[in-house]
Amino acid sequence: MLQSISTYFNQGPKEQKTPQTKVNETSRDTSTSDGAANAVLGGSNIADPEKKDAGTEAGEQTLDPMTSRIEGGVEYKSMVWWQAGMVMVAETISLGILSLPRAMATLGIVPGLILLVCLGAMASYSGYVIGQFKIRYPHIHSMGCAGEVLFGRWGGEILGWGQFLFYVFIMGSHILTFSIMMNAITEHGACTIIWMVVGTILSLVFTLPRTLKNLSYYSVASFISIIGAVMITMIGVSITKPGMRLVDGHEVLTVRLWPEDNLSFSTGFLAVANMVFAYAGHVAFFTFISELKNPRDFPKALAFLQCSDISMYIITAVVVYYYAGDRVASPALDSASDVVKKVAYGVAIPTIVIAGVVNGHVGVKYLYVRLLRDHSEDLMHQKTWKSYGIWVGICTGSWLGAWVIAEAVPVFSDLLGLTSALFASWFTLGLSGMFWIKMNLTRNGQRWKVVPRNGWSFSKTMLLLVNLLNIGVGAILCVVGLYASISSMVHNGATNKPFSCANNAAR
């Protein structure tokens, strides 16, 4: 293990002279006219799209596991950039946005806005670095593959299974939200366990298509759904004003610019973890890029995602908190009146289901590709009962595990906080800093050298500091976030029992 870690700081594990090695060496040594711009943004010298490097293009066609080796097989590399952007929006802007008004109420408007903007900027940059890392190493399909490039075999195992567990936790969050939604609409018309089973089965059915292009059309409905639900909630709370208080004989809206004086550390940090979760779509970026027709279009999809989520998060968090005050609930839809809440939840059904399906699809595909990518007959791309049966089996097992997690952690904000601390802290921020170091620095004896050019520059030094900051923030969020979320789970466990028929919707 120590040897694997040391290879990361010395340009990775010892490579054989395979086509993959030649591709990586070609892309590492190629210098183009836009190299300076890529260095400023934190990537390596990637060839201009109009002057594509022949070695890299060949690598993308032969090394990416999503490229079919048989005629008439399943074509995974079929998305254009806007379809990838819609899938990324559906994956990212879903449950996270529903927890932000409560986080804003906990932290206050000023710290909350600063965190949303800063985390959004950091997530935008780290997403760009992931895109550059995929271009440099075309065979990467998941965080597990990236972990193997960084740390060797054991790094690939740890990050790969960590990625899969992250997806299962997110899938569990969507099952839990589905049960909250059904209890709110039906006024607890059935046992909560039944609603979770229904949500699990529905999600499983929508996960059965094997290509992300098919899910991109669902994602349009998901995007419209979450915008509609949030708009209805904002309009509803602006009319009922649940945050109105009586002050000196007058009813006024009161909001805090700063945190409460008696705010506990665990509660405050759990709010921060929920904000991090709102930007935690990066874990699926390698898979999305692998299914793009042209992987170099990824920055367009990333820009579409980040412009959408940062603006929506700020508007939703501020407006809902302003009118709901300290009584704002998590999920935020519970802050509206009973009638408006039911309407908002009804409109939110597509995003509650589809966003979980997108995450479930990417998680299932990790296991699917891992199991079949080296199959001599390219079973992964076949349209046979055997290949599809394997897909269905992995889907079923994954959603069953997600259902168990949803039942075991029945508090929405606690589940998001635990998921964010364990996984989102690294997949969104920490690992991208390591990717940048892998692409841009190598150690030669006692000296650090810049790749592909020797010598330091001011911009390279600043980018090194930014990426070291990302690694440090990821580590802090992981350790402290785990403490905060576990403390909250212990506290809430006294009143919220796992595997219970009790109503989990706000009343």
Q: Which residue has the tokens 């970026």?
A: 285
> For residue 36, is it within any domain?
yes
**Rounded CA separation 241/352 (Å):** 26
The C-alpha torsion from 235 through 236 and 237 to 239, rounded to 10°, is 80
Number of domains in the chain: 1
- CA-CA distance, 186 to 181, in Å (whole number)? 9
pLDDT of 153 over the 80 cut:
yes
Over the stretch 262-274, which tens digit does the pLDDT of each residue have? 888 878 887 887 8
In this structure, of 217-231, 232-246, 445-459, 463-477, the range with the lowest mean pLDDT score is 445-459
**With bands split at pLDDT 50, 70 and 90, how would you rate the model's confidence at 44?**
very low
474 pLDDT more than 60: yes
Q: Which long-range contacts (C-beta less than 8 Å, at least 24 apart) are formed by 337-343?
A: 337/236, 337/240, 340/232, 340/233, 340/235, 340/236, 340/240, 341/184, 341/233, 341/236, 342/184, 342/185, 343/232
**Structural domain contains residue 246:** no
Q: In which residue are the tokens 């529903």 written?
A: 98
Tokens matching residue 185: 């609409």
pLDDT digits (tens, 9 = 90+) for 170-205: 888 889 889 888 988 888 888 889 999 999 999 999
Average pLDDT over the chain, rounded to whole?
Answer: 80
Q: Domain holding 20: CATH number?
A: 1.20.1740
Q: Could you give the 3-state DSSP secondary structure of residue 183?
A: helix
* Residue 250 counted as domain residue: no
Tell me whether residue 498 is in a domain. no
Which residue would you say has higher pLDDT here, 66 or 157?
157
Confidence band of 246 (pLDDT split at 50, 70, 90):
low
What percent of the chain lies above the pLDDT cut of 90?
Answer: 30
Q: Where does 325-457 have alpha helices with state H?
A: 338-372, 385-408, 412-419, 431-440
Q: Which residue range forms the structural domain that includes residue 417?
A: 2-69+82-240+264-492
Q: How far apart are CA 445 and CA 274, in angstroms?
A: 42
The residue among 15, 34, 505, 50 whose CA lies nearest residue 294 is 50
pLDDT in the model for residue 310? 94
Does 245 reside within a domain?
A: no
Give pTM, 2 decimals: 0.78
Residue with tokens 């609603």: 195
Alpha-carbon gap, residue 83 to 65, rounded angstroms: 20
> Can you tell me the mean pLDDT for 292-319?
93
> pLDDT by residue (tens digit) across 82-95?
999 998 988 888 76
